Amino acid sequence: MKGVLPIKGASAASGREKKAPKELENVLNQYFGYSGFRGKQLEAIEAVLSGRDCFCLMPTGGGKSMCYQIPALVRTGIVLVISPLIALMENQVASLKNKGIPAEFLSSTQTSHTKQTIHEDLDSGKPSLKLLYVTPELVATPGFMAKLKKLYHRGLLSLVAIDEAHCISTWGHDFRPSYRKLSSLRKQFADIPLLALTATAVPKVQKDVISSLCLQNPLILRASFNRPNIFYEAYHAGLNSKVRSSVLDDWLSSRTQVVVATVAFGMGIDRQDVHIVCHFNLPKSMESFYQESGRAGRDQQPSRSVLYYGLDDRRRMEFILRNTKTKKSQSSSSSNELSEKALADFSQIVEYCESSSCRRKKIIESFGEKVQPTLCQRSCDACKHPNLVSSHLEELRRVPNCRFNKVSPVFQSSLVNPAHLDTEFWNREDEASISAEDISDSDDGNEVVSNIAISKIPSNAALDAKFKALERAENAYYQGKGQTNQQGGGLVDKKSISQALRDACWKRLLDALGQAKLRLGNLPCDEAASATHLETECFKKYEKVGKTFYNSQIAATVRWLSSATSNQMHDRFHTLIDQATDHSVSSSPDIVPESSPAPTEVVCARPGETIVHELEKTKHSDESAKTIAASAGNVELPTIPSFRECLSQKGKDCKKSSSDSNAGSQPFGFRRKSTGLVEKQETSKKMKS
Ligand SMILES: Nc1ncnc2c1ncn2[C@@H]1O[C@H](COP(=O)(O)OP(=O)(O)OP(=O)(O)O)[C@@H](O)[C@H]1O
Ligand SMILES: [Mg+2]
């Protein structure tokens, strides 16, 4: 069984008999299970055991803690460890206790009972503690200092270790004023060794640490910062030309699909099919952002530019901008000017990231261009998911370091082409939420609220303004159903499709058609008439079964419109026009022979996914539908399957995939990734035959 090594000698200072390396290694092995010391550990341990001050510079994870933990085990008395973070202390103390080593920490987070127990142990004739962790603030209090002095005079203070010692230096990145107060330790405990430990000390900081702590003739140990087990790579312009050109070749010839690189990589490279540009660090200005993200979508295909943003990133970049300018510039006045300019440029990016208003508008306006309010068409996240953006921004403000949190907000922008930058503020769960919206039994009220009300609320609106907007949206919702909330009195039919929902869906379709037109250059149909046509179809076919199915079909149709590629869309239109001409449909779209066979067209929407469209050959009895179809041009847009078709399609699918237990759990006709008019290649083959 493990036990604290027998205490030899009456006092810490008098117990400084030399330990053989083998003995120390045995202790290491006995308590920690390691076979030998690493790097400069042994030298540091031997130095402090001999009573000498020591400055120990070792990389992160290098094993600095062992340099004071082993002395605590072999020396009489207590090792005092000064640490800047309570979490660090808790962690280490728990780990030591696990190994049977008596360790404690004192902090404001502990109960007074625990603190009292620790103090009693310290005051006892023979404390059981071997390591006591404290904050620099506590050391600076007269009460605790008096306690330490008592321990010292009783010969029970064997070592003072100052962890993360760079915090004492104003030159260091983590300066902590209370660390400055540790400078009195050397004087107070003249013959007790001080051990300063850090992983981050550039020469200037190193000197500052040594002088601030008044270390006496310290042994200065610097371990190599090489971490041989870590494989590093990322591309930069400084690579030798052979490596550089091979990365470039692989990239240009599509052998490599993903390159992680500095911004230098993108310059002058023209690969057409780059569809995602992801900024892991923040760009310095709107110009940089536009230029770098503009590498996406050169083939005019829908593309995305993802921008990760956290307040830490912002601070880091502001720090860099301030300091870079200071170094570059000779005179301090021009340095300040440059710094101010850089910070002003950068503030545009910050504003872009932290605002909930239209991103496309922000980008374009930053270049002095006037933007029509209708330009965006929900092609940026602020316009598309205003409530999500607002809540993510609120979270960003509430939890400043949430960048890597599971629900951390990140910014994403998508661009169709550089002239039409499509920006989104995006959450990693967003994809799921879009799908959920498409397939779930979404509520009209929510739809109306998100479409009508929340988009008009600034993210920081007062709570009562939000309530008022919600109230207005609620009234609009009920009015759409031909009743007011108050008048309605009873329950509203949960399944019914309100006028407000129909209007919102029409708008969605119109937006999708507008997007498709932008993407394809020239869509050969009138968008408004086509949106009406599609919405009317959905409504007619799903009115009876209710809004869930209606919603889903609208969403699926929107998805089809927004995901079909240029060729697919054009092919389809040409095929349709040709077919319509062959069948004498185009010349007279409202006279459709009832007996005509219904040809089936297969359109690949995404790799591995096929959609079946039955050309609409059924004569519309509804006159308005005829007019709409005629005004939509002689082009058939995706046909909406009837509810019965959906059910029978589902039935076929269930048989086909009876082995797939998940298939049966999906709602009828609504697959998460289906693009509307259901379904798989096998099915289309069956229908063809
Ligand atoms: N001689 C050793 N052999 C094997 N593992 C060791 C040895 N010494 C320390 N370690 C282990 O290395 C890990 C890192 O040690 P430690 O936390 O002390 O690093 P550190 O230098 O303080 O790093 P940081 O700068 O992040 O605080 C720990 O799991 C520790 O148990
Ligand atoms: Mg450490």
- For residue 425, give both structure tokens: 């503020």
pLDDT score of 119 more than 90: yes
pLDDT band at residue 332 using 50, 70 and 90 as cut-offs:
low
Rounded to the nearest integer, the mean pLDDT of the chain is 68
31 CA from centroid of ligand 1 (Å): 14
If you count DSSP H runs as helices and E runs as strands, how many of each does the chain have, helices first?
29, 13
- For residue 256, give both structure tokens: 């490599």
- Residues 6 or more apart from 426 whose CB is under 8 A from it? 306, 381, 409, 410, 411, 412
Closest ligand 1 atom number to CA of residue 62:
21
Closest ligand 1 atom number to CA of residue 88:
27
CA separation for the pair 183, 136 (Å, rounded): 11
Cβ atoms of residues 212 and 180 within 8 Å: yes
pLDDT band at residue 9 using 50, 70 and 90 as cut-offs:
very low
C-alpha Rg value of the chain to the nearest Å: 35
- For residue 341, give both structure tokens: 């300019």
pLDDT the model gives residue 152: 96
Decide: 37 in ligand 1 pocket, CB within 6 A.
yes
Query: Which of the ligands is closest to the CA of residue 60?
Result: 1
The residue whose C-alpha atom lies closest to atom 11 belonging to ligand 1 is: 63
The residue whose C-alpha atom lies closest to atom 9 belonging to ligand 1 is: 63
* Chain centre to alpha carbon of residue 543: 40
The residue whose C-alpha atom lies closest to atom 24 belonging to ligand 1 is: 60
Question: What are the CA-CA distances from residue 563 to residues 301, 411, 557, 606, 673 (Å)?
Answer: 10, 21, 10, 8, 11
**CA-based nearest residue to 163, from 267, 49, 266, 79:** 79
pLDDT the model gives residue 230: 52
Decide: 480 in ligand 1 pocket, CB within 6 A.
no
pLDDT the model gives residue 350: 92
121 CA from centroid of ligand 1 (Å): 28
Cβ atoms of residues 411 and 393 within 8 Å: no
* CB atoms closer than 10 angstroms to residue 83: 24
38 CA from centroid of ligand 2 (Å): 14
- Residues 6 or more apart from 462 whose CB is under 8 A from it? none
pTM for this predicted structure = 0.44
Q: Is residue 488 left, alpha or beta, with left meaning phi > 0 and alpha meaning psi from -120 to 50?
A: alpha
What ipTM was estimated for this complex? Answer: 0.99
CA separation for the pair 203, 220 (Å, rounded): 12
Decide: 607 in ligand 1 pocket, CB within 6 A.
no
Decide: 63 in ligand 1 pocket, CB within 6 A.
yes
Percent of the chain surpassing pLDDT 70: 59
What 3-state DSSP class applies to 219?
A: strand
Question: What are the CA-CA distances from residue 336 to residues 141, 326, 350 (Å)?
Answer: 40, 7, 20
Task: Give the residue-averaged pLDDT of 242-264.
Answer: 81
pLDDT the model gives residue 285: 86
The residue whose C-alpha atom lies closest to atom 7 belonging to ligand 1 is: 63
Pocket test for ligand 1, best of 65, 68, 221 (most atoms within 8 A of CB): 65
**Torsions phi, psi for 612 (to 5 deg):** -105, 125
pLDDT the model gives residue 56: 96
**Strand runs (DSSP E) across 26-76, as ranges?**
54-57
Cβ atoms of residues 55 and 219 within 8 Å: yes
Pick 684 or 640 by higher pLDDT.
640
What 3-state DSSP class applies to 91?
A: helix
Pocket test for ligand 1, best of 24, 27, 32, 195 (most atoms within 8 A of CB): 32
- For residue 235, give both structure tokens: 């591309």
- Write down the residue that tokens 């993903």 correspond to: 258
Closest ligand 1 atom number to CA of residue 198:
25
Cβ atoms of residues 234 and 260 within 8 Å: yes
The residue whose C-alpha atom lies closest to atom 10 belonging to ligand 1 is: 63
Q: What residues does 157 pair with on adjacent strands?
A: 78
Decide: 60 in ligand 1 pocket, CB within 6 A.
yes
pLDDT the model gives residue 236: 52
pLDDT score of 214 more than 90: yes
Query: Pseudo-torsion of CA 627, 632, 636, 639, nearest 10°?
Result: -70
Per-residue 3-state assignment (H helix, E strand, C coil) for 251-284 = HHCCCCCCCCECHHHHCCCCCCCCCEEEECCCCC
**CA-based nearest residue to 425, from 385, 460, 461:** 385
Of 225-239, 351-365, 578-592, minimum mean pLDDT range:
578-592
CA separation for the pair 384, 240 (Å, rounded): 45
Cβ atoms of residues 64 and 225 within 8 Å: no
What stretches of 496-642 show up as alpha helix (H) in DSSP? 499-520, 527-542, 547-563, 566-582, 623-631
CA separation for the pair 187, 206 (Å, rounded): 20
Cβ atoms of residues 616 and 636 within 8 Å: yes
pLDDT score of 6 more than 70: no
Decide: 38 in ligand 1 pocket, CB within 6 A.
yes
97 CA from centroid of ligand 2 (Å): 17
CA separation for the pair 265, 252 (Å, rounded): 12
Decide: 64 in ligand 1 pocket, CB within 6 A.
yes
Pick 83 or 596 by higher pLDDT.
83
Query: Which of the ligands is closest to the CA of residue 133?
Result: 2
Neighbours of ion ligand 2 (CB under 5 A): 64
How does pLDDT run across 415-460, given as a tens digit for each residue? 333 333 333 322 222 222 222 222 222 222 233 222 222 233 334 3
Decide: 88 in ligand 1 pocket, CB within 6 A.
no
**Torsions phi, psi for 190 (to 5 deg):** -55, -40
CA separation for the pair 170, 162 (Å, rounded): 16
The residue whose C-alpha atom lies closest to atom 16 belonging to ligand 1 is: 63
The residue whose C-alpha atom lies closest to atom 8 belonging to ligand 1 is: 63
pLDDT the model gives residue 32: 96
What 3-state DSSP class applies to 304?
A: strand
Pick 19 or 134 by higher pLDDT.
134
- Is the alpha carbon torsion for 648, 651, 653, 656 positive or negative? negative
| Helix pair 41-49, 66-74: axis angle to 10 deg | 40
**CA-based nearest residue to 358, from 459, 274, 428:** 459
Pocket test for ligand 1, best of 66, 93, 167, 230 (most atoms within 8 A of CB): 66
For the chain, what's the residue count?
689
Query: Which of the ligands is closest to the CA of residue 62?
Result: 1
What 3-state DSSP class applies to 602?
A: strand
DSSP label of 5:
P
CA separation for the pair 529, 508 (Å, rounded): 13
Task: Give the residue-averaged pLDDT of 114-127.
Answer: 93
Cβ atoms of residues 649 and 641 within 8 Å: yes
511-607-664 Cα angle (round to 5): 85
pLDDT the model gives residue 33: 96
The residue whose C-alpha atom lies closest to atom 28 belonging to ligand 1 is: 63
179 CA from centroid of ligand 2 (Å): 16
DSSP one-letter string for 391-446: HHHHHHHHSTTGGGSTT-EEEEEEEEETTEEEEEEEETTHHHHHHHHHHS---HHH
pLDDT band at residue 689 using 50, 70 and 90 as cut-offs:
very low
603 CA from centroid of ligand 1 (Å): 59
DSSP one-letter string for 628-677: HHHHT-S-PPPPPPPHHHHHHHHHHHHHHTTT-TTGGGSPTT--TT--SS
Query: Which of the ligands is closest to the CA of residue 70?
Result: 1
* HSE toward the beta carbon, residue 354, CA cutoff 13 A: 16
Decide: 638 in ligand 1 pocket, CB within 6 A.
no
List b or e across 133-161, with b for residues whose CB sees 16 or more CB atoms inside 10 angstroms: bbbbbbbbeeebbebbeebbebbbbbbbb
Cβ atoms of residues 403 and 310 within 8 Å: yes
CA separation for the pair 67, 56 (Å, rounded): 9
- Residues 6 or more apart from 421 whose CB is under 8 A from it? 290, 293, 294, 305, 359, 360, 363, 364, 413, 415
Decide: 65 in ligand 1 pocket, CB within 6 A.
yes
pLDDT score of 172 more than 80: no
DSSP one-letter string for 61-97: TS-TTHHHHHHHHHSSSEEEEE-S-HHHHHHHHHHHH
